[in-house]
């Protein structure tokens, strides 16, 4: 029987309403009382390391979660992290960058409704997460509504529905229904053959824990009429900025010339990542004039990464280096499937 550690951090899944609204209150053992049959499949241990609403998650708490996995790594075959849904995607991505060389499953899950509520999704999500934590897969994942999602590709798209999380710009790794797991084997073959990185089969790697994150970054969403003075403030107070541009990578250059302000930032050794406000398909600066006017050799090209992954990845890259060329290379380099996948390649692998 596999040995599984559940690391509880709070969230809706562990919440109860004492009269002032839902707030985290359940510990691991109390959660497990709602899914007694799972304990027959594996040896489950648990520890409560924080009991917070996930809106209060921050990088130091990411580090606490990552450290808990790291310190217990040799004792367990898999890990389940119970978490609030609002910032779950940020945490799963952060763990991917902070825990490198993972050759065991680290599964993050939660629920839209408390485990004590009638008709809740908490019991199913927790059971599914434990099932995946027993598998011979490697990496950080989100499990929600019967789907296994790459930890850097999860995005919360709904506030109430059970199918709250989407795998953006990336196929689901697997699905589970009635305890039966169905893997996307064409995706597995893609990683084995195209990236020479099979994270479905255990490999003998030494896990590395890196908690050096630079928190001095800002996410800026462009809107019509944005005051360019905000970029002067960024230059004086931050080391990096993620700009959510329009469409495929458009940044305005008339009236308030934002492209000029972006150049001022990069000339001042500020890391500038340009992504899109659109959820799918990423950015491409070579199509429109508004994209081509950017100094593409200096800005960091987000490609098809989502903001939830870009935030911890930029923090991680800036924590590793002050050299902007190195930071650019670190962010733009694909890691654990966080950038780029060609569906035609997947179809070719499936036919092979």
Smallest CA-to-CA distance from 144 within 102, 101, 173, 103 is with 173
User: Does 12 participate in catalysis according to the annotation?
Assistant: yes
CA angle in degrees (0–180, nearest 5) for 73-100-112: 75
Cα torsion 143, 147, 152, 153: sign: negative
DSSP notation for 281-294: S---TTSSHHHHTS
DSSP notation for 11-54: SGGGEEESSSSEEE---HHHHHTT-GGGGGTSEEEEEEEEEE-G
| Angle of helix 258-267 versus helix 229-237 axis, rounded to 10 | 10
Could you tell me which residues are beta bridge partners of residue 105?
139
Which is catalytic among the residues 12, 91, 276, 307?
12
From CA 234, how far away is CA 255, in angstroms rounded? 20
Q: Answer for the pair 241, 217: CB distance below 8 angstroms, yes or no.
A: yes
The residues that are catalytic are 12
């Amino acid at each position: 029987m596999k040995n599984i550690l559940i690391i509880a951090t709070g969230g809706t899944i562990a919440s109860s309403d004492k009269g002032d609204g839902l707030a985290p209150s359940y510990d691991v053992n109390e959660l497990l009382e709602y899914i007694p049959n799972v304990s027959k499949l594996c040896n489950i241990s648990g520890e409560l390391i924080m009991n917070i609403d996930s809106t209060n998650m921050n990088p130091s708490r990411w580090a606490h979660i990552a450290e808990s996995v790291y310190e217990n790594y040799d004792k367990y075959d898999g890990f389940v992290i119970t978490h609030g849904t609002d910032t779950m995607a940020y945490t799963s991505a952060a763990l991917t960058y902070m825990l490198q060389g993972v050759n065991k499953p680290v599964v993050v899950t939660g629920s839209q409704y408390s485990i004590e509520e009638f008709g809740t999704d908490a019991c199913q999500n927790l059971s599914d997460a434990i099932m995946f934590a027993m598998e011979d897969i490697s990496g950080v994942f989100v499990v929600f509504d019967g789907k296994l999602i790459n930890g850097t590709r999860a995005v919360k798209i709904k506030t109430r529905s059970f199918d709250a999380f989407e795998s953006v710009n990336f196929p689901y790794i697997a699905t589970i229904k009635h305890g039966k797991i169905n893997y996307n084997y064409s995706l597995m073959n893609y990683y084995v053959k195209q990236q020479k990185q099979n994270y479905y089969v255990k490999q003998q790697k030494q896990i590395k824990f890196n908690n050096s994150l630079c928190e001095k970054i800002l996410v800026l969403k462009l809107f019509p009429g944005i005051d360019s003075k905000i970029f002067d403030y960024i230059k004086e107070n931050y080391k990096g900025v993620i700009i959510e541009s329009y469409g495929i990578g458009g940044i305005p250059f008339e009236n308030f010339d934002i492209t000029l302000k972006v150049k001022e930032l990069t000339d001042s050794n500020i890391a500038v990542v340009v992504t899109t406000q659109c959820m799918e398909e990423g950015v491409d600066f070579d199509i429109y004039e508004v994209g081509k006017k950017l100094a593409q050799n200096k800005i960091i090209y987000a490609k098809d990464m989502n903001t939830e992954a870009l935030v911890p990845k930029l923090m991680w890259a800036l924590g590793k280096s002050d050299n902007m060329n190195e930071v650019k290379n670190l962010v733009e380099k694909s890691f654990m499937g966080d950038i780029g996948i060609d569906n035609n390649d997947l179809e070719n692998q499936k036919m092979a």
